[in-house]
Structure 1
Amino acid sequence: MNWDPGGASQNRSKFYVLMRFLRIEQTLFSLPMAYLGAFVVLRRIPSIYDLVLIFSALFFLRIAGMTNDNLADREIDSRNPRTRTRPLVTGVISVSEAKVMIIIGLIGFFVSAYLVNFWAFLLSPIVAAVVMTYPYMKRFTAFANYHLASIQGIAVFSGAVAVLGQVYNSLPQIIYDVPWLFVLSTIFWALGFDLYNHIPDAEFDSQLGLHSFAVMLGSNALKFAGLNQVGSVVLAFFADYLYNLGPIGFLSTILHGIIMAYAYYLASRGDFGRAFYYNIYSSIVLGLGVDIDIALGIPFL
């Protein structure tokens, strides 16, 4: 119950603390899903230019979003025994430093979107607004968990827009061609992964009047997380079929489900730390599997 993905000991280097603060490993874990959107709509490997800019946009938006999240929750985190070692709480990272990081992150994101294509730049303020408003939603509604999950889905959406905007000069056509089944599958997957971070704090959040499905559903919250992740696997299988993926794509979906099932088992035993990270691993398997499937183009026999 003392596990915290954003905590960091004060006796570590500033660079290490900064990486923990940004949870940089989660940025890398989201990248295969962002590339998935681009691979699926192109049916081939995108250009190096597109791959670099998709990474750049994701990286900078992650800096802005995660820093804003920590800044918005600084007072809450200082009162929660599980999150008292977060760098903004301990003072290892100052408020002024955090504000500079948000500015740098947003500028880097908008510049990256501008360099991708006109439509990506046009949609970038909406994407940024979704990401930057997330930490405030739990003050009002349990659907904040789906808000966070939608940010993961936006990674798939954004990867698709990054390449579709170079093919079509029509926003409705771009929106239509986004691989929405994979977007929805990602959202349902991420809902479970987010709840693994909230269930340990359910009592604390309830006392502070904060909202989540962990607070709303109580002992049924874990079942709700599992139900959403079953939905993720079902939607991923439909997506594999709809987008004519080969055996590697289907195999990655099976492994995606198996890893999530194991994460659910760990969570049911109270090991939310390992459940959280195994759940993230499942998305890497799915994203990389689809990307490799399309890159190799191996059809079913």
Structure 2
Amino acid sequence: MSWDPGGATSSQSKLYIYLKFLRMEQTFFSLPMAYLGAFIAIRGIPSPYVLILIFFALFFLRIAGMTNDNLADREIDAVNPRTRTRPLVTGAISSREAKILIIVGLTGFFVSAFLVNRWAFLFSPIVALVTMTYPYMKRFTAFANYQIATVQGLAVFSGAVASAGVGDVSLIKVITSVPWLFVIATILWAVGFDLYNHIPDAEFDRKSGLHSFAVLLGSKALLFAGLNQLFSVILDLLADSVYNLGPVAYASTILHGLVMAVAFYYATKNMFGKAFYYNIYSSIVLGLGIDLDILLGIPFT
């Protein structure tokens, strides 16, 4: 129960502390999903220019979003035994540094979106708003779990907009290019693994007046997490069919589901840290598998 992905000790290097503070490894939850959206939207390979800008947009949004989350929760984290070693709590990173990181992150995100195409820039404030308001939403409703999961779904959406919106194309063309089934499936998948982060804190959150489905459902929260991820796999398989993907996509979707099943097993054993990180593997499997499927073009469309 002591697992915390954002903890660091002051004896470690400043670079390591920043990496733990921002949890940069969790970018790999979003990046495969963003590239999945980008490849499916055009049924081909986006330009290196677009792929690089997608990476930088996610990178900078991660900086802004995670820093804002830590800054908003620093007083709560200070009294939670699981999160007392977070850098803003220990003073390894100051509030001033955090505010600068938020400015840098949001600036980098908006500039990256502007450089991709006009539609990416048009939607960027919505993506930023959903990301930046999450830490305050959990003060009011358990559906904050779905809000943070929507950030992951917006990665698929944003990747699609980045690739489909290049050139003189209409907004309708861009919107209809988005693989919406994968967007919804990604949201359900993310709700599941986000609860792996909340279930260990359920009692503390209840006493602190914070809301999540871990608090709302109590002992049934883990089952709720598993059902969300089960439905996400079903939707992924449906999406494979609807978007006329091939055998590699189906195989990667099934493997994606099996990895999530392993993560769920670890969660039942109270190994929430291991369960949480197994979802990185599952997103890489799905994203790379579908991208490879499109590259192979089987069946041809």
Deviation per residue, 1:224-283 (Å, 9 max, x gap): 000000011000001111111111110110011101111111101111010111122111
Counterparts of 1:1-301 in structure 2, within 5 Å, are: 1-166=1-166, 169-299=169-299
- Give the secondary-structure state (helix, strand or coil) at the position aligned to 2:46: coil
- 8 A contact 1:37–1:178 mirrored in 2: yes
C-alpha distance in 1 between matches for 2:166 and 2:268: 46
The offset of 1:175, in angstroms, is: 1.6
- 8 A contact 1:84–1:90 mirrored in 2: yes
The offset of 1:297, in angstroms, is: 2.0
C-alpha distance in 1 between matches for 2:256 and 2:194: 17
Which deviates more from structure 2 when the two are superposed, residues 261-270 or residues 167-176?
167-176
C-alpha distance in 1 between matches for 2:18 and 2:225: 30
C-alpha distance in 1 between matches for 2:168 and 2:210: 43
Partner amino acid, structure 2, of 1:57 = A
C-alpha distance in 1 between matches for 2:216 and 2:29: 29
The offset of 1:23, in angstroms, is: 0.6
- 8 A contact 1:168–1:174 mirrored in 2: no
Give the count of matched residue pairs. 300
The offset of 1:84, in angstroms, is: 0.5
C-alpha distance in 2 between matches for 1:287 and 1:169: 26
- Give the secondary-structure state (helix, strand or coil) at the position aligned to 2:44: coil
- 8 A contact 1:193–1:280 mirrored in 2: no
- 8 A contact 2:61–2:105 mirrored in 1: yes
- 8 A contact 1:139–1:210 mirrored in 2: yes
C-alpha distance in 1 between matches for 2:296 and 2:14: 41
The offset of 1:168, in angstroms, is: 5.5
- 8 A contact 2:42–2:177 mirrored in 1: no
TM-score when normalising by structure 2: 0.98
- Give the secondary-structure state (helix, strand or coil) at the position aligned to 2:82: helix
User: In the superposition, relative to structure 1, how do residues 148 and 80 fare at CA in structure 2: closer, same or farther (>3 Å)?
Assistant: same
The offset of 1:44, in angstroms, is: 1.0
C-alpha distance in 2 between matches for 1:9 and 1:247: 46
Deviation per residue, 1:42-83 (Å, 9 max, x gap): 111110000011111111111000000000000010010000
- Give the secondary-structure state (helix, strand or coil) at the position aligned to 1:46: coil
Partner amino acid, structure 2, of 1:187 = I
C-alpha distance in 1 between matches for 2:200 and 2:189: 19
- 8 A contact 2:28–2:280 mirrored in 1: no
TM-score when normalising by structure 1: 0.98
C-alpha distance in 1 between matches for 2:165 and 2:146: 27
The offset of 1:184, in angstroms, is: 0.6
C-alpha distance in 2 between matches for 1:283 and 1:94: 33
Which deviates more from structure 2 when the two are superposed, residues 122-131 or residues 172-181?
172-181
In structure 2, stretches of 5+ residues that fail to align are none
Partner amino acid, structure 2, of 1:97 = E
Which deviates more from structure 2 when the two are superposed, residues 215-224 or residues 276-285?
276-285
The offset of 1:167, in angstroms, is: 5.2
- 8 A contact 1:30–1:284 mirrored in 2: no
C-alpha distance in 2 between matches for 1:83 and 1:60: 24
C-alpha distance in 1 between matches for 2:292 and 2:30: 16
List structure 1 runs of 4+ shifted beyond 6 angstroms. Answer: none
In structure 1, stretches of 5+ residues that fail to align are none
**Identical aligned pairs, as a percentage?**
72
C-alpha distance in 2 between matches for 1:13 and 1:109: 27
The offset of 1:30, in angstroms, is: 1.7
